[in-house]
Amino acid sequence: MNDFAFARVLHVLGVVLWIGGVAWITTVFLPFIRQFKSAAERVVFFENIERRFAKQARVATLLVGASGFYMVSVLHAWGRFTKVSFWWMHAMVLVWLVFTVMLFVLEPLVLRKRLKELAQRDPEKTFAQIHRLHWALLVLSLIAVGGAVAGSHGWFLFQG
């Protein structure tokens, strides 16, 4: 296997672990813990699971970012970022950037503390906001993944 193929394998595996985890948390885990009687209990349980997943997501996003940068460099594909037909490349970078900032900056430095404060004041509202945020991130991620698969196989929604 050549270096480019290996980078692509790492890239796809990283996306599967990362976005697949976001999908599981959003569509399975959060609806399940909604059954907890206590909203405060939901938030605490969520924080414990999310913290574990965050470690996996951090590794995966680093892997995805490094392998993506490598592939764009090897292909000399920087010019794609100037074309509307490659919108999915912008979407991938945007999703990666949002998650990277969330995982490495906002979550450890701001959100962890803020979430505890909000959960103490209004746990029901906090849990609903957490769920809405995860849905927004999942939808954005799926648009990027779908666009990347379609675009990398020659299906362009826009020309030019």
Q: Coil, strand, or helix at residue 147? A: helix
pLDDT single digits (tens) 138-159: 999 999 999 999 988 888 766 6
Burial class of 119 by CB neighbour count within 10 A (0 to 12, 13 to 18, 19+)? buried
How far apart are the C-alpha atoms of 103 and 73, rounded to whole Å? 25
Instruction: Kindly calculate the radius of gyration of the chain based on its CA atoms and give it in whole angstroms.
Output: 18
pLDDT single digits (tens) 108-145: 898 888 887 887 888 888 888 888 999 999 999 999 99
How far apart are the C-alpha atoms of 46 and 49, rounded to whole Å? 5
Identify whether the C-beta of residue 2 lies closer than 8 Å to the C-beta of residue 110. Answer: no
Place of tokens 């999942």: 138
pLDDT single digits (tens) 61-89: 999 999 999 999 999 999 999 998 899 99
Q: Coil, strand, or helix at residue 53? A: helix
Quick one: the chain helix, strand, coil %, rounded to 5? Answer: 90, 0, 10
What is the structure's pLDDT at 120?
82
pTM of the model: 0.88
What is the structure's pLDDT at 158?
66
pLDDT single digits (tens) 2-20: 999 999 999 999 999 999 9
